[in-house]
Amino acid sequence: MITTIQEQTGQEQTGSRPQDLITPEILRPARYLGNELGAVHKPWESAVVRWSLTYPEIYEVGSSNLGHIILYSILNAQPRQLCDRAYLPAADLSEKLRSTQTPLFAVESKRSLTEFDILGFSLSYELGATNILEMLTLASIPLTSQERQTGNWPLIFAGGQTATSNPEPFADFFDFIALGDGEELLPEIGLILEEAKLSGLSREETLLDLAQIPGVYVPMFYAMGEFGEVHPIRPEVPPRILRRVADPMPHYSIGLVPYVETVHDRLTVEIRRGCTRGCRFCQPGMLTRPARDVEPEQVISAIEKGIRATGYNEFSLLSLSCSDYLALPAVGLEIKNRLQNENISLSLPSQRVDRFDENIANILGGTRQMSLTFAPEAGTQRLRDIINKGLTNEELLRGVKTAWEQGWDKVKLYFMIGLPGETDADVMGIVETLSWLREQCFAKGRKRLNFTVTISNFTPKPHTPFQWHSVSASEFVRKKDLLWQAFRDLRGVKANFTDYRISAMEDFVGRGDRRLAPVIKRAWELGAGMDAWWESTEKAYGAWTQAIDEAGLNWKYRQVESGEWNLFAIDEEIGGYRLLMWPNPCPGTIWIQE
């Protein structure tokens, strides 16, 4: 394990002190100070294992991520363990780090990332990989696990939704990957690292010990076969790794309170993990089974304590579908009663329109009315049945009309184009549905209901029945043009469209295998980074296009014939469910825990 940069490189550290770089010309210096309310400052010398949870996005995104906050709190609660944080610096600080040859640092201790024993990257999005390479470079850490075999570098691992669903495109960059929920898994990893460090184990010996933990995948001990399948090359490691499943821990939600406005600038409390709806396009719904509810009293206690400890006047309840949490109305009313003098408001980021009723409407908002968002996904009943959305036109109308009758005059709706089995009639059904809903929500003396609509491009995800579906970019553009022309004649509707280039980049990476690692690295070398931000899209898409061309691949390098959908099947060998997939992007490594 690492102790000093000099020990690792044989040279003295060069560059400025990190705190000296936070000068007045740096935008939002509070991003890098590490002194937020809730920040933990443990003595460096007293810790045996030193972590840095490293989020590959700017501070405003990373510091408000609930998983990041929860794991930070859990690790700092462990004896003899220390957890710091690092984020992707904005362009102004990145330039200063390079010009002064100062390695990227963790925000609390201001120590270089090379001084930590282990760095954990949150890989919750396919396009976060190029940001990870940027952070490793800024930290002066070799990019691949193979390059880090010599020297005393920190262990580099990834966790998160994308890492769990298909780690293979990123396998070359990480020493190990944490599959599934991390609340119980990361403390177990910490204990193994503590024992390894005290025993003086080598890097390979430490990774072999880590590979014995359920949920830890060490790519160097596995090889890729002819069809992309993965198999062990060491007898000491398991042939298959079960993803870890943990219950939500809402009391850890009361974490950091940043001094700058963040993406989710509110208290967030998880009320349910998993979903039983079975929408065929939804990866989280497939991978987070079984659904686990938090006891209502735990939710109420976490909110009451969190509001008073943080000073937030808004809180959000987090779930794949908040309205499926049966105790939601009771929890909302109890919080209103207990905190009636606290000037608070409640928002729900995700709701099923068929579950929205007067009881839920009455607990939303508070001192101000919050926005409402529903996701019908498809514009016709036929297509909603194909994707197993479980939503009828009558239920859609009832939920939207309830919102209108309860005082909302604007509702956000999400739809997708490019779904399996979609026709132009289904595409135009989006416009017809919106027109019909506006007609039904009309009364003299009342303002008509208006809609803000987001049209996204369906991007198939691994481990879903639609994972090998394919739509060309030209089809997305054509369908967008159809909708754009139709929306011009529809009053009361504001439409936003997802850039097909972002969807293409997500699609290319998400269903890949280990052969993609050099392509990811080359795209980053050509300027890809912050790929999902609209101002970076054109540059990123150009970089990815060139990297793919140089590799002799194309944007749809892996696909099956249209109509070959994959469904769940019983795997008697492991006693659990799995998805039938061929070729599988990561067979033998990702399995839904029985």
Q: What is the pLDDT of residues 122-160, one digit of tens each?
A: 998 899 999 999 999 999 999 999 999 998 999 999 999
Contacts 24+ apart (CB under 8 A), 567-573: 567/465, 568/465
| Residue 456 pLDDT greater than 90, yes or no | yes
Asked if pLDDT for residue 10 goes beyond 50, the answer is: no
For the beta carbon of residue 286, count every other beta carbon within 10 angstroms. 24
Mind listing the pLDDT tens digit for each residue in 202-220? 999 999 999 999 999 999 9
Position 366 scores a pLDDT of 57
pLDDT at 110: 96
| 404 — pLDDT class (breaks 50, 70, 90) | very high
Largest CA distance in the chain: 80
What mean pLDDT is reported for the chain? Answer: 88
C-alpha span between 53 and 135 (Å, rounded)? 12
CA–CA gap between residue 439 and residue 313 (Å, rounded): 36
Give the pTM. 0.89
Helix (H) or strand (E) holding 50: strand 49-55
Helices then strands, each counted (H, E), the chain = 20, 20
Coil, helix or strand for 315? strand
Token pair for 7: 């020990």
- Helix, strand and coil content of the chain, in percent to the nearest 5, comes to 40, 15, 45
Distance CA 412, CA 453 (A): 6
pLDDT at 82 over 90: yes
Kindly tell me if the per-residue pLDDT of 589 is higher than 60: no
Per-residue pLDDT, 530: 87
Q: How far is CA 346 from the centre of its chain?
A: 23
Whether pLDDT at 185 is above 50: yes
287 is written with which tokens?
């991978």
Q: Which residue has the higher pLDDT, 586 or 547?
A: 547
Which domains are assigned to the chain? 5-232 (3.40.50.280), 266-370 (3.30.750.210), 372-512+558-563 (3.30.750.200)
37-70 confidence digits (pLDDT tens): 999 999 999 999 999 999 999 999 999 999 999 9
Q: What pLDDT does 447 receive? A: 87
* Amino acid 583: pLDDT: 36
Residue 411 CA to residue 409 CA, distance in Å, equals 7
Give the lowest-confidence range in 13-17, 72-76, 224-228: 13-17
Q: Is the pLDDT of residue 582 over 80?
A: no
**What's the mean pLDDT in 568-583?**
34
Average pLDDT over residues 240-259: 89
Contact (Cβ atoms closer than 8 angstroms) between residue 189 and residue 51: no
As a whole number of angstroms, the distance between CA 496 and CA 519 comes to: 31
Q: Say how far apart CA 189 and CA 177 lie, in whole Å.
A: 11
Least confident of 310-314, 316-320, 467-471, 485-489: 467-471
Question: How high is the pLDDT of residue 255?
Answer: 79
In angstroms, the CA 134 to CA 138 distance is: 6
Instruction: Round to whole Å and give the CA distance between 363 and 360.
Output: 5
Q: Higher confidence at residue 142 or residue 574?
A: 142
Q: Does residue 72 have a pLDDT over 70? A: yes
Q: With 70 as the cut, is the pLDDT of residue 332 above it?
A: yes
For residues 357-365, give the mean pLDDT: 87
CA distance 156 to 380: 46
Is pLDDT at 578 greater than 50 in this prediction?
no
Average pLDDT (8-32) is 77
Q: Is the pLDDT of residue 572 over 70?
A: no
If pLDDT is split at 50, 70 and 90, which confidence band does 369 have? low
* Those residues with Cβ within 8 angstroms of residue 478's Cβ, 6 or more apart along the chain or in another chain: none
pLDDT level of residue 15 (50, 70, 90 thresholds): low
How much is the average pLDDT of 561-590? 34
Q: Which of 40-54, 194-208, 300-314 has the lowest mean pLDDT?
A: 300-314
For residue 89, with 0-12 CB atoms within 10 Å meaning exposed, 13-18 middle and 19 or more buried, which class applies? Answer: buried
pLDDT value at 593 more than 70: no
Average pLDDT over residues 580-585: 36
463 — alpha (psi -120 to 50), left (phi > 0) or beta? Answer: left
Determine the average pLDDT of the residues in 544-566: 68
Whether the per-residue pLDDT at 423 is higher than 80: the answer is yes
Burial 300-311 (b: 16+ CB within 10 A, else e): bebbbebbeebe
CA 371, 376, 378: angle at the middle one, nearest 5?
A: 140
* Non-local CB neighbours of 517 within 8 Å, separated by 6+ positions: 144, 169, 170, 171, 172, 173
